[in-house]
Amino acid sequence: MHMVDFSLGIFGCNAIVGASVPHAAGAAFSSKMDGDDRVSVSFFGDGASNQGVVHETMNMASIWDLPVVFLCENNQYGVSTSQEDAVAGEQISGRADSYDMDGETINGQNVLEVYETIQEAVKTTRETSRPRLVECKTYRYKGHFSGEKDLLRDRPYRAEEEIEEWRRERDPIDTFRKALIEEDVFTEETLDQIDVDVKARLEDAAEFALESEYPSGDRAPEYTYSEQSYPNFPAEKY
Ligand SMILES: Cc1ncc(C[n+]2csc(CCOP(=O)(O)OP(=O)(O)O)c2C)c(N)n1
Ligand SMILES: [Mg+2]
């Protein structure tokens, strides 16, 4: 959410739903003025897609021919509000028509489909300097925030079976794993070994954290501000 690193092209995000979408258009506008070939990609949710500022940004990006890919991660819930209750129309990508740009909905659970679609979308946007909208249909198994289960125990907003169905039939890691084995990219044994290695590294990291001394307050800016990424924003100033 709050990660920023200009050297990696990561522009950051903020807690106001939909509010970083215009930032992407601003970045695209500056690229256009500078005459470089950078494309902005804005990630936002189905809930954010209803925010006025998202529509204003799409409209302006189209009028000004800005190189932005609007990437909607439609996980079908905005916290506990289902898409069915809150989003008009079948597909969020259909809104692209209103702003005279191309829009498409893809299977956001399919790693390669997402990769290939976004590669193509960025390439076309770079070539044409026209914005476009890609809606990735996906799902979230857990709550929007930790503790959601406790808070919403008496008014669950979706059935456990629905969660299990997505997990069982459309899990992106499982399906990508199957595809890699089917295409002979990796053997099952290699992938199992990767799982074991990753788990061990995570457990080591967790153990290190738990066993480490609690940091003192004066260390709070460490790893929060990067001198390297922000030569003009020394940490001691903020
Ligand atoms: C302007 C604004 N309104 C309301 C909220 C409270 N809020 C936080 S997340 C969220 C839902 C966002 O839905 P979506 O974009 O689908 O994200 P997801 O829940 O799927 O992560 C809301 C309403 C907020 N942070 N900002
Ligand atoms: Mg959502």
User: Hey, where are the domains in the chain?
Assistant: 1-158, 171-212
- CATH of 1-158, picked from 3.50.50.60, 3.40.640.10, 3.10.129.10, 3.40.50.970, is 3.40.50.970
Our answer on whether the CB atom of 57 is closer than 6 Å to any ligand 1 atom is: no
For residue 237, what pLDDT is reported? 46
Q: CB–CB of 137/74 below 8 Å?
A: yes
Cβ(49)–Cβ(133) under 8 Å? no
Residue to probe by mutation, ligand 1, list 13, 17, 76, most atoms within 8 Å of CB: 17
pLDDT (average), residues 183-208:
97
Strands 132-137 and 68-74: parallel
**Is the pLDDT at 18 greater than 70, yes or no?**
yes
Identify the residue whose C-alpha is closest to ligand 1 atom 20: 78
For ligand 1, whether the C-beta of 131 sits within 6 Å is no
Question: Looking at residue 238, what is its pLDDT?
Answer: 40
Q: What is the pTM of this model?
A: 0.89
Q: How far apart are CA 9 and CA 119, in angstroms?
A: 16
**Tokens standing for residue 132:** 């476009």
| Binding site membership of 45 for ligand 1 (Cβ less than 6 Å) | yes
Q: Are 10 and 96 in contact (CB under 8 A)?
A: no
Q: Which residues surround ligand 2, an ion (CB under 5 A)?
A: 45-46, 75, 78
* Centroid of ligand 1 to alpha carbon of 16 (angstroms): 7
Q: Which amino acid is at 164?
A: E
pLDDT at residue 219 in the model:
87
Report the nearest atom of ligand 1 relative to the CA of 144: 19
Q: How far is the CA of 44 from the centre of ligand 2 (A)?
A: 8
Q: Does ligand 1 have an atom closer than 6 angstroms to the CB of 78? A: yes
Main-chain dihedrals φ then ψ at residue 134, nearest 5 degrees: -120, 125
| 91-145 per-position pLDDT tens digit | 999 999 999 999 999 999 999 999 999 999 999 999 999 999 999 999 999 999 9
Ligand 1 pocket member 16 (CB < 6 A): yes
In angstroms, the CA 132 to CA 140 distance is 24
Q: Which atom of ligand 1 is nearest to the CA of 140?
A: 20
**Which residue did the predictor score with more confidence, 125 or 4?**
125
Chain CA centroid to CA 198, Å = 22
How far is C-alpha 95 from the chain's CA centre?
A: 19
